[in-house]
Amino acid sequence: MTTRVLKFSAALAVVALMALGSPTAFAQASAEKKQASLYDRLGGVAPISVVVSEFIDALVLDAVLNKNPAINAARQRVPPPYLKYHVTAMVCQAAGGPCQYHGRGMKESHVHLNITEQEWDRMVTLFNEVLTKNKVPAKETQELLKIVDSTKADIVASRKQ
């Protein structure tokens, strides 16, 4: 009877392994999950576009940023939906997604705005607030902030506060 139980247990173990896949396949699936792009971990272009839309809405209405006459004038010239489209494409591409950003470079787009450190910090604060509101996990938030930070040298024109 003990032999029969052992054979049955061994058969169950084989069936369980077959159902789960081989240990090697399981390890590969785990590695692939760990290597998922930021784009995939954020849920794709739909959630990215929601966050970008809310972020642009916050920027457009922000009194601190609109005190800068160049920023305020740009808000009047560039329709928010156009800006949302380009920023969504840029974030999607930077996060490893299939989108392609075809807009101007960061320096070219921002040099005439004379953005200060204070205005940059305000933008980052607003971005953080939108990420928090949308429950973006901490790891993905940090990765997005790193991407944003990589553009700072091209955006901040004035170091005065």
pLDDT, averaged across the chain? 83
pLDDT tens, residue by residue, 106-145 = 999 999 999 999 999 999 999 999 999 999 999 999 999 9
Q: What's the CA gap between 51 and 108, in Å, rounded? A: 24
Model pLDDT, residue 33: 53
pLDDT at 24 over 80: no
Mean pLDDT of all residues in 69-94: 95
Model pLDDT, residue 57: 97
Q: Read off the tokens for 54.
A: 């809310």
pTM: 0.76
What one-character-per-residue DSSP string does the chain give?
Answer: -HHHHHHHHHHHHHHHHHHH--HHHHHHHHHHHHT--HHHHHTSHHHHHHHHHHHHHHHHH-HHHHTSHHHHHHHHHS-HHHHHHHHHHHHHHHTT-S----S--HHHHHGGG-EEHHHHHHHHHHHHHHHHHTT--HHHHHHHHHHHHTTHHHHEEE---
